[in-house]
């Protein structure tokens, strides 16, 4: 657990430096939101989810502030903004140094989980070879039923 907290602290410092580099203040609201994402780094949080998490530690924060902060963090490349087709944007850390992952979205309960393993690398290479097109990113989502919901379909 101590190693994880050190990792969070390092990540937090990098983000703070990036914000300062772009002349943004590190307000208490932004600090609280960043900490919520660091503590829930495996989650795909909406603005509403984030608001519910942070309002306990920072009761004066408004939902509009959360939306603005999430959009700013996405604009700076700190967070990745995702659309999973449920009418709410979800955010997760943009891990440029990690291997690409894909999302599995349950169409019954809305649960979002990740599928590690980039099966599209060979397809990207083929596209580049055949078309001379340089692929810089891709986004793949699978929609279906999670194990829990699948068992209730019968």
Is residue 50 within 8 Å of 66, Cβ to Cβ?
Answer: yes
Annotation-wise, does 56 bind a ligand? Answer: no
CA-to-CA distance for 43 and 9, rounded, in angstroms?
18
Give the integer Cα–Cα distance in Å for 124 and 110: 29
Tell me what pLDDT residue 151 has: 86
Residues ≥6 apart with Cβ < 8 Å to 138: 100, 120, 124
Give per-residue pLDDT as tens, 102-128. 778 788 887 787 776 667 778 888 888
User: How far, in Å, CA of 14 to CA of 129, rounded?
Assistant: 37
Is 121 annotated for ligand binding?
yes
pLDDT at 2 over 70: no
138 appears as a binding residue in the annotation = yes
Residue ranges and CATH numbers for the domains of the chain are: 2-93 (1.10.10.10), 101-150 (3.30.1490.190)
16 annotated as a binding-site residue:
no
44 has binding-site annotation:
no
Residue range 60-89, pLDDT digits in tens: 899 999 999 999 999 998 888 888 777 888
pTM above the 0.75 mark? no
Strands 89-93 and 45-46: antiparallel
99 annotated as belonging to a binding site for a ligand: no
């Amino acid at each position: 657990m101590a190693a994880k907290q050190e990792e969070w602290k390092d990540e937090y410092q990098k983000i703070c430096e990036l914000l300062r580099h772009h002349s943004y203040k590190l307000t208490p609201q932004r600090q609280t939101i960043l900490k919520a994402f660091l503590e829930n780094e495996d989650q795909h949080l909406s603005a509403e989810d984030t608001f519910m998490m942070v309002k306990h530690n920072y009761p004066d924060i408004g939902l509009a502030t959360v939306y603005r902060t999430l959009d700013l963090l996405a604009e700076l490349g700190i967070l990745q903004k995702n659309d999973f087709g449920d009418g709410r944007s979800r955010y997760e850390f943009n891990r440029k140094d990690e291997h690409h992952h894909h999302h599995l979205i349950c169409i019954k309960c809305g649960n979002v989980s990740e599928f590690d393993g980039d099966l599209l690398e060979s397809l990207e290479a083929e596209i580049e070879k055949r078309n001379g097109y340089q692929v810089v990113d891709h986004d793949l989502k699978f929609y279906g039923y999670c194990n829990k919901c699948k068992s209730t379909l019968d």
